[in-house]
A and B are shown apart, each in its own frame.
Chain A
Amino acid sequence: MAEGVVAAAARVAEEEGLEEVAEVVVWIGELQQVDHGILEFALDQLRTPIMSGARFLLEPIPARLRCRACGEEWRFSPDDLDEDVSEAIHFVPEMAHVHLKCPGCGSPDFEVTEGRGVWLASIKGVKRDV
């Protein structure tokens, strides 16, 4: 995951003509239950020279779900999940449809309206002189 974030940041920095990256904002959807400390450590280990002084800001995004069958909306909470289920959703968030049900009607046919996975949200830095 960290490898992907750093690669995406490097690509965007190149596309935007940055010679130095100052800040990388990463949205972390709660559904994926990412350990922020581990991700921060990995990002720090993998940062490229252009990101040597960059701050990685990890912003948690609450996972919200909406039932397609009955319209119920609710927020995902990993607290009551078995370890196996929690791990399955961590690796492949779509496994939520396998292991979770709408609290209103019991349907697995719901959508994750927010907070599914990890996104590179924005990047700031110093542009190269043209």
Chain B
Amino acid sequence: MSDPRLEVIGRRLAGVREVVAVSSGKGGVGKSMIATVLALALRRRGLRVGLLDLDFTSPSTHIILGVEGLQPEEEKGIIPPMAHGLRYMSIVYYAIDRPAPLRGADISNAIIELMAITRWGELDCLVIDMPPGISDATLDTIRLIRGIRFMLVTTPSRVAFETVRKLLTLLRELEVPVIGVVENMVLRPSTYVRDQVEGMGAPYLGAIGFDQGLEEALGSVERLMETEFAVDVGRLASSSGLKAP
């Protein structure tokens, strides 16, 4: 027996130059915000960008983008619709605002299915908003997406960083490229995270300040991109080496 879906995932991504998974060991560190704003920042620099929300049980990028009423086009698979200049794919098209209580094997199957049916076309960069942790989605994206690179997000808290340390260790052991670690929601200067990251030999991409105006900008891309947070993420996009070909 053979699973035909696994045969086509590589072809579906053949026109995608770079895949970046924005990931963390814990939830609540701002992965979705960073993934979404990073995708928008890269788009504003002229790159062709896709955004894939792989957080099936708690998708949120559609709220950040203020996306409503979009549906993919069916054409020999699924063509993600454009949202604010991004090719945008999320499970919300199919879950229709209902809870998605999926076990690990089901999450894995849904990831394979989505990767097999989604036709991204030509993209300079596909940004993936990953669910937290080092379970199914992390292992599946590493297994299924050749050349994927990870951008890790932590907060200044040791509670968050210790989970990122494990994720970083796992990626190292699997020889998966890591772009670097971003420190988000920084309230006061500290070198703790930078020291730890650099001590592990990984790039520290920079700090993003805690932006109190961010919540009010949710759902409006124009306001979002005017926030201090977006300025910081834009800087980070430069230091991460993601650029037009």
Q: Does A105 belong to the interface (CB within 8 Å)?
A: no
Q: Does B102 belong to the interface (CB within 8 Å)?
A: yes
Q: Does B101 belong to the interface (CB within 8 Å)?
A: yes
The one of A3, A12, A88, A97 that contacts B96, using a Cβ cutoff of 8 Å: A88
Query: By the criterion CB–CB under 8 Å, are A8 and B7 in contact?
Result: yes
The smallest beta-carbon distance between A124 and chain B, in angstroms, is: 14
Residues B69-110 near A (CB distance < 8 A): 76, 78, 91, 93-96, 98-103, 106-107, 109-110
Query: By the criterion CB–CB under 8 Å, are B109 and A94 in contact?
Result: yes
Q: Does B2 belong to the interface (CB within 8 Å)?
A: yes
User: Which B residues lie within 8 Å of A3 (CB)?
Assistant: 7-8, 11, 76
Q: Does B3 belong to the interface (CB within 8 Å)?
A: yes
The one of B1, B7, B100 that contacts A98, using a Cβ cutoff of 8 Å: B100
**CB-nearest residue of chain B relative to A94?**
B110
Q: Report the bound CA distance from A84 to B97 in whole Å.
A: 12
Query: By the criterion CB–CB under 8 Å, are B2 and A92 in contact?
Result: no
User: Which A residues lie within 8 Å of B8 (CB)?
Assistant: 3-4, 7
The one of A4, A87, A108 that contacts B116, using a Cβ cutoff of 8 Å: A4
Residues B181-217 near A (CB distance < 8 A): none
**CB-nearest residue of chain B relative to A99?**
B98
The one of B3, B76, B103, B110 that contacts A119, using a Cβ cutoff of 8 Å: B3
User: Which A residues lie within 8 Å of B94 (CB)?
Assistant: 87-88, 91-92, 95, 98
How many residue pairs bridge A and B at CB < 8 Å?
86
Q: Report the bound CA distance from A99 to B91 in whole Å.
A: 13
Residues B46-78 near A (CB distance < 8 A): 56, 76, 78
Q: Does A116 belong to the interface (CB within 8 Å)?
A: yes
Query: By the criterion CB–CB under 8 Å, are A98 and B95 in contact?
Result: yes
B residues with a Cβ closer than 8 A to A are 1-8, 11, 56, 76, 78, 91, 93-96, 98-103, 106-107, 109-110, 113-114, 116-117
Q: List 19 A-B contacts (CB under 8 A).
A: A1-B4, A3-B7, A3-B11, A4-B4, A4-B5, A4-B6, A4-B116, A7-B4, A8-B3, A11-B7, A85-B96, A92-B113, A92-B114, A93-B109, A98-B95, A98-B98, A116-B109, A117-B5, A117-B113
Q: List the 10 closest pairs (A to B, CB-CB), nearest first.
A: A4-B4, A7-B7, A88-B94, A94-B110, A120-B2, A4-B8, A8-B2, A8-B4, A5-B4, A94-B106
A residues with a Cβ closer than 8 A to B are 1, 3-5, 7-8, 11-12, 84-85, 87-88, 91-95, 97-99, 108-109, 116-121
